[in-house]
Structure 1
């Protein structure tokens, strides 16, 4: 895929990587623009269109010190506040509209035998992605630049399923998540292949409010397994649905963002983008 939206994201991702690596020096607009070979005015306009805020403001959202501040201030009520937002509020959280249903033991064990899976390719603010669905809900979503590689990874996850390239209504509802008007967001249903422990961890991730962050340890405490931080990390790393299950909101206890299945720069971009969106709605 080589759409203009994807090209713009690649430019923004390069800028974000530069900002992340040099945040201690608080790089100026001119310095960042020079790194991506754009004029300051063009870069400012492109960045603001993509993130909804200025590069300078965005820097605050991806600053490691900001991550530490968020953890200090919000960790105690990190999960509870997600459900305190009124449904009529302009800051309504998309996580409230995601429901998880685990696959049956038979579906889990036989690699999706007798499952019919539709899949399609799409663009998002964070690059190209593949999204797949069964009759019950979205079963897979991943950021991938190469369509063939994306499809092979999907088939590897469900080796015995039948596949059809088709954009269905379930997928369309999931892709609405990237639009700005969440007042019209329908309920998004997920149909996931995972162990009971993995499903419990993934469900807990849905309770982290947009614009907030959690640690692996706080997730472990939330699910009643305070000593299972490593197992929690493994479950988070196995998340089959990018963005909808917000594993990007989990960071290390030191305040650093840490790794991400779909790239650390993309994780940084999503955290900053969400922080900017929440700030705009306030």
Structure 2
């Protein structure tokens, strides 16, 4: 059961929120002005993956089919940042991300640089409390953050997530247990849940 795994524990929810590093709000609003982001693109079992990091941690994990599309997505998100193709040292980071994608149960031993509105960050913190192999409905997440009527807003925050898998929006499902939209495709969502031991 989801609640038995600790998802309902407000103490754990807030105690772990400080682990989510974030960009200075004014920099976020300015599209990464005066920032440097290192990025790399690689292939994995889910297709193409782009990983981008700031000095604080991983700022984006994007999934898709075409490298150029993912790079454009990164450019659109950080239009004023300096984007630098990563060197050999950065390969260790992307290797960790790919290993995490292939086996989400192993966890991701990298800091995150989480960027979003205050509401989005509350939702994303709640998502990180859903254990691998478990799921939650949008209504349960809304209840978790103390805004039970904000179900559509929760869905919007899931759709705005740019750190795939590390912020596991793929673990959020409809009230009837069916899979709903996923930024990177329903097939990828189904595959991730399957490899985590949750069949849908």
Establish whether residue 153 from structure 1 lines up as the match of residue 68 from structure 2: no
Structure whose residues are more often helix by fraction: 1
Matched residue, 1:220: 142
Structure 1: runs of 5+ lacking an equivalent: 1-73, 83-95, 277-282
**Structure 2 equivalent of residue 77 of structure 1:** 4
Instruction: Tell me, yes or no, if the aligned pair for 1:137 and 1:188 is still in contact at 8 Å.
Output: yes
- Rounded to whole Å, the distance in 2 between the matches of 1:149 and 1:180 is 25
Residue 197 of structure 2 corresponds to residue 275 of structure 1: yes
**TM-score where L is the length of structure 2:** 0.85
Which deviates further from its counterpart, 213-222 or 141-150? 141-150
What is the CA-CA distance between 1:176 and the residue it aligns to? 3.3
Check the 8 A contact 2:103/2:195 in 1, yes or no.
no
Instruction: Indicate the residue corresponding to 2:117 in structure 1.
Output: 195
- Structure 2 counterparts to residues 243-282 of structure 1, below 5 A: 243-275=165-197
Alpha-carbon distance in 2 for matches of 1:198, 1:235: 5
Q: Tell me the distance in 1 between the aligned counterparts of 2:109 and 2:23.
A: 19
Q: Does the 8 Å CA contact 1:137/1:170 hold for their aligned counterparts? A: no
1:92-241 matches, cutoff 5 A: 99-166=19-86, 168=90, 169-178=92-101, 180=103, 187-241=109-163
The unaligned stretches of length 5 or more in structure 2 are 10-15
Is contact 1:99-1:188 (8 Å) kept?
no
Q: Distance in 1 between matches of 2:147 and 2:6?
A: 16
Render the CA deviation track for 1:231-269: whole Å, top value 9, x for unaligned: 111001100111111100000001111111111111111
Task: Please give the per-residue CA displacement for 1:89-117, whole angstroms capped at 9, x wherever unaligned.
Answer: xxxxxxx9x94212112211111011101
Name the CA shift for 1:218/1:174 in 2 (closer, same or farther; >3 Å): same
1:120 match: secondary structure: strand
Name which of structure 1's ranges 154-163 and 261-270 shifts more when overlaid on structure 2. Answer: 261-270
Partner of 2:13: none
Instruction: State the structure with more CA Rg.
Output: 1
Aligned match of 2:12? none
- Calculate the aligned-residue CA RMSD, in Å: 2.4
